Structure 1
Amino acid sequence: MSQDRERLDALAHALESVVGADAVRRDEPMSAHTTFKVGGPADLFVSPASEDELVRVVRACRDTGVPHFLLGLGSDLLVGDGGYRGVMVDCAGALDDILMLGDPRERCQIVCEAGAAIADASALAASLGLTGLEFACGIPGSVGGAVFMNAGAYDGCCADVLESVRCLMPSGFVEEIPAGELEMGYRTSRVRTEGLVVLSATFALEPGDAAAIAARVAELTEARESKQPLELPSAGSTFKRPEGHFAGKLITDAGLKGYQVGGAAVSTKHAGFVVNVGGATAADVRAVISHVQDEVKRQFDVSLEPEVRFVGEF
């Protein structure tokens, strides 16, 4: 048995003592846990049921030096066909509580565990007549992932309403970090650049007109459903917005709508999305992304940077 396999087996037993044997799976296909519906097996797939378990799982991975990845709802993620050599830590399996603190007739807080869907937090806020999270009504990711990349849509982003984040630090200690200290920018934050682990996030929201909030959510939902290829698996917007341009328009102008490799294609509905039209592999998706980048650079001298994260073996 190789040293890597011995180390992985020892870690698996240690993790079972933390989360229980049923919450540790070997060779779990990541196609079942990503919105692209592609991806090979993770060596270990671990589903902690509490913040304490999550902290202990991450500490165990760090102590043994086995690579680990914090998985939310699997959007903005492309896992290679060769899978992931290490531990996928499933934050969305149970860590999805959302709690309101305060009186919704006044400024109050919504506290979300890392695995909660940011769209669910938006829906709760809207139901309580709280304004500020309407932009997130259609974002398909978790709260942890949304903070990680300062997710945004329709002229709003997490940084606008985030108050603080409870994080496991690289030091191994848990800290509450004010949003102003997270260096949040376009699709980035200290969570991303410094390898922090989001345990929960607190959003500060203001009371608003319930009818106006509901109307705004309905407007954004209609815009998303009419313009985006929600009927097909994807990772959401494939590329970041290049300065001074829109990725979808550049790709359309390059004549790449419908461009296809295997089961992956540029959406004919919105060119900013690469979609799985059936039976796509991660290699297919990556090939489409690379071709789009090459053609947009060749035709317009604009570099498109993927918003999608590439993880594992391709």
Structure 2
Amino acid sequence: MSGETFDRRAAARGLAAILGSGRVLEDEPMSEHTTFRVGGPADLYAVPESADGLVRALAWLRERDVPYFLLGKGSDLLVSDAGYRGVIVAADGLKGFSREGDELTFGAGVSLKEATDKALELGLGGLEFACGIPGSVGGACYMNAGAYGGQMADVLVRVRAVMPDGSVADVPADELELGYRTSLIRTAGLVVVSATVRLEPRDPAEISATMQDLTRRREEKQPLEFGSAGSTFKRPEGHFAGKLITDAGCKGYRVGDAQVSTKHAGFVVNLGHATAADVHAVIEHVQEEVERQFGVRLECEVISLG
């Protein structure tokens, strides 16, 4: 059972034996699991509800060379219209939380909104920058997510992860090679089970005020009313992607229902019924025009799958 020729019925049975039959779905539309709201069906969609289930499922898939992709909140992902030939392993079920002093440990499937709300509730500051990022804790570690002057590298202490050899290990943050939208988690194929952050006691009113301010700034500047994957392009050295795109005359450029946002040119948005092909066409046009006019090749921040 290998590569694109894997026996998905056998895979469904094998995963169901580990996770439970109700936790393995066939032909699940990925448009329902990505913030872009596009994407065809995944052959199988598996949802472990525990770290042990995740570890066992991954071991089963790896032993049989079944293609798989680990999904967080789908906030930085563009799935093709043809879908994904393999197994999507969703981390949504990994929800645990614990506290030890000023250190909070969250399951990889905890949303950043849930994490920042919990920190606020406990009067612990430092995670406010993440309050509006529509991703999961695991995904935030994978991408070293950041906004408004903060990033995961500032607060992350360690992750518990499934290593490439299938073992589970605690990896200190200073060994994760956390950089701009990248990490060892991404480059070496680690799978985050949980993450521990170190915060600092702070007046809840001050934390709340910061979160409200950042939320207001996001709502004013970003096209949150439409499906998107957030900032579509990485910030090129010495430039701002949004300004380059605007100066290249691409703001508002549209293919089908995919469009360079008229509110913030750094975002490609789904106006309602865009296809993945539409989104790709817009991205490619923007890259070509910016490179032609300014000699800068914009690097896509969004992960393409399928």
TM-score interval, smaller chain: over 0.9
Q: Are the aligned partners of 1:8 and 1:66 in contact in 2 as well (CA < 8 Å)?
A: no
Question: Which residue of structure 2 aligns with residue 17 of structure 1?
Answer: 17
1:126-178 CA deviation, whole Å, 9 max, x = no partner? 22221110100101011111000100000100010000000000111100001
Number of the residue aligned with 2:97: 98
Letter in structure 2 aligned against 1:39: G
2:268 is aligned with 1:269: no
Letter paired with 1:157:
Q
Mapping of 1:176-191 within 5 angstroms? Answer: 176-191=170-185
User: What does residue 74 of structure 1 align with?
Assistant: 74
Q: In structure 2, how many angstroms separate the alpha carbons of the residues matched to 1:86 and 1:195?
A: 17
Query: 2:88 maps to which residue?
Result: 88
- Provide the C-alpha distance between the structure 2 equivalents of 1:255 and 1:127, rounded to a whole number of angstroms: 45
Q: Does 1:39 align with 2:39?
A: yes
Partner of 1:219, secondary structure, is helix
**TM-score, normalised on structure 2?**
0.97
SS in 2 for 1:257: coil
Counterpart-to-counterpart distance in 2, 1:225 and 1:28: 31
1:278 aligned onto 2:272: yes
Alignment of 1:120-135 (within 5 A): 120-135=114-129
Match of 1:105 in 2: none
1:28 is paired with a residue whose SS is: strand
Q: How many Å separate the matches in 1 of 2:186 and 2:5?
A: 29
Instruction: Provide the C-alpha distance between the structure 1 equivalents of 2:225 and 2:67, rounded to a whole number of angstroms.
Output: 34
Partners of 1:249 and 1:74 lie apart in 2 by: 26
Whether the aligned pair in 2 keeps the contact of 1:150 and 1:157 (CA below 8 Å) is: yes
- What is the SS of the residue equivalent to 1:138? coil
- Given candidates 141, 160, 167, the residue that maps to 2:161 is 167
- Which blocks of at least 5 consecutive residues in structure 1 are unaligned? 103-107
Summarize the alignment of residues 273-312 of structure 1 with structure 2, pairs less than 5 Å apart: 273-312=267-306
Residue 193 of structure 2 is aligned with which of 173, 195, 199?
A: 199
- 1:3 to partner: Cα distance: 9.4
1:86 maps to amino acid:
G
Distance 2:230 2:38 in 1: 14
- Give 1:144's aligned residue: 138
The answer to whether the Cα contact below 8 Å between 1:125 and 1:133 also exists between their aligned partners in 2 is yes
Looking at structure 1, the residues matched to 167 and 25 of structure 2 have their Cα atoms a distance apart, in angstroms, of 27
Quick one: distance in 2 between partners of 1:111 and 1:257? Answer: 41
Equivalent residue for 2:222, pick from 219, 223, 228: 228
Offset at residue 56 of structure 1 (A) = 0.8
Q: Which amino acid aligns with 2:98?
A: L
Any unmatched runs of 5+ in structure 2? none
Distance in structure 2 (CA, Å) of the matches to 1:80 and 1:99: 37
Deviation of 1:219 after TM superposition, in Å, equals 1.0
Q: Which consecutive segments of 4 or more residues in structure 1 shift more than 4 A?
A: 2-6
Separation in 2 of the partners of 1:4 and 1:250? 40
What is the CA deviation profile of residues 9-31 of structure 1, one whole-angstrom value per residue up to 9, with x for unaligned ones?
A: 22221101001111111111100
User: Secondary structure at the residue paired with 1:9?
Assistant: helix
Deviation at 1:5, TM superposition (A): 5.3
Amino acid at match of 1:98: F
Q: 1:214 aligns to what SS in structure 2?
A: helix
* SS state at 2:7 partner: helix
Residues 1:269 and 1:4: Cα distance change in structure 2 (over 3 Å): closer
Q: Distance in 2 between matches of 1:5 and 1:294?
A: 36
Residue 276 of structure 1 aligns with an amino acid whose one-letter code is N
Distance in 1, matches of 2:243 and 2:117, equals 31
1:58 shift after superposition: 0.8
Match of 1:208 in 2: 202
> 1:218 is matched with which residue?
212
Aligned pair count reads 306
Q: 2: distance between equivalents of 1:187 and 1:4?
A: 30
1:100-146 Cα deviation digits (max 9, x unpaired): 332xxxxx111110111122211211222211101001010111110
Partner Cα separation in structure 2 for residue 66 and residue 31 of structure 1: 22
2:230 and 2:296 map into 1 onto residues whose CA distance is: 21
**Contact 2:248-2:289 at 8 Å conserved across structures:** yes
Quick one: distance in 2 between partners of 1:20 and 1:47?
9
> Whole-Å Cα distance in 1 between the matches of residues 275 and 100 of structure 2?
44
